[in-house]
Structure 1
Amino acid sequence: AKKFGVAEELKNKLTHNRDEIRFLSERKLHGYLAEGDELPGLPGWKVIETPGHAQSHLSFYRESDGVMIAGDHLLAKISPNPLMEPPLLPGGMRPRPLLQYNASLQKLLDFPISTVYSGHGSEVAGDEVADLIQYRFDRQHNRAMQVKSMLQDKPLSVFEVCQQLFPKVYLQEVGLTLSETVGQLDYLEDLGEVQTEIQSGVILYSIA
């Protein structure tokens, strides 16, 4: 939170605003699924790793008829929020979820898909998948260019960009809006459109 320049009075919302945490299971894992694995008890269904919306997000694909269960990865009407998560190993580099999400979308184009069943809303017909993914890429790029324009006058922290990008909701949804903002800046940095410097422990972004 400090590196992103988050206002002191909002830092608690990043760690203590989820009452639902008491419902999370504390049971230990006894196995795992990885890319290409067959789903136990469901012959013909293979695991496709699709990180982005979450680091652990999986989709399931049945080659025999081209059906994909995509969860929150590909939705007909909205683009899921790539959520910030801590590094897998303490002290490691933080994930860059929007870049992961884009790569996971690109991966879907390698599969002959007949129907995508999503976690929200209606299914996506196979002949619409490529156009929908391109639409997501175009919308994403245009939004990132909007963020870049915010840096015209002076370098800004993640939080300062977040305030401009989500002026009406950032106070209520600090985690979600910061996740979206960081994703846009990661995307711009990956393209070489922005650069960073650190001042007083805060990362500042400026146009490269």
Structure 2
Amino acid sequence: MDDALFGPPTVPVAPGAVHLPGWLTPDTQADLVRRCREWASGPAGTRRHPMPRGGVMSVSMTSLGWQWAPYSYSRTLPDGTPVQPFPDLLGDLARRAVEAAYEAPYEGDPYDVALVNFYDADARMGMHQDRDERSPAPVVSLSLGDSCVFRFGNTETRTRPYTDVELRSGDLFVFGGPSRLAYHGVPRTRPGTADPALGLNGRLNITIRASGLRD
């Protein structure tokens, strides 16, 4: 994972929210796609979570470190299957991502949970807050495959004001500080925009967080 880029220009989106286009090299992207496939085929697999008010998420998700389900964390799936371990390489990548975004050493809580989200052509993610963690550490988001429209809003409401950002394969998005609890979502993807060399039909998003939780 040493070929992550650390030179692209940062694009401020909101206080504490930074977009770094093209942060990952093609080789790193290909390696992460391969690893995502391995994680998705692991004992805990991938799943589309049912929502408390009915319906099922259109995004398929694999949890690492802690199992996330709306709206809580646990160490096991409902059937008792243990969650796959959180990979050290993602923790290291998250730390370096925050340092690149903020141009300062990272001294916060250790990253210990990752959600690997797969979007097919019809998948969406509604506006929501990442508020199930006890740690205020910034959220790190990595994009692979098809581009998407990433809607980044405010901390008070799911509605305007918000900013639509196009996230392409290899892009990094970090949000913390005043924007840590901002509403955000993916209203649409752009099918067929991935580099064919990546061998990915759809979009993968790796979201890395520090839970602040204890067993």
Flag whether TM exceeds 0.5 (same fold): no
Structure with greater helix share of residues: 1
Greater C-alpha Rg:
1
1 or 2 for the larger relative contact order (CA 8 Å, sep ≥6)?
2
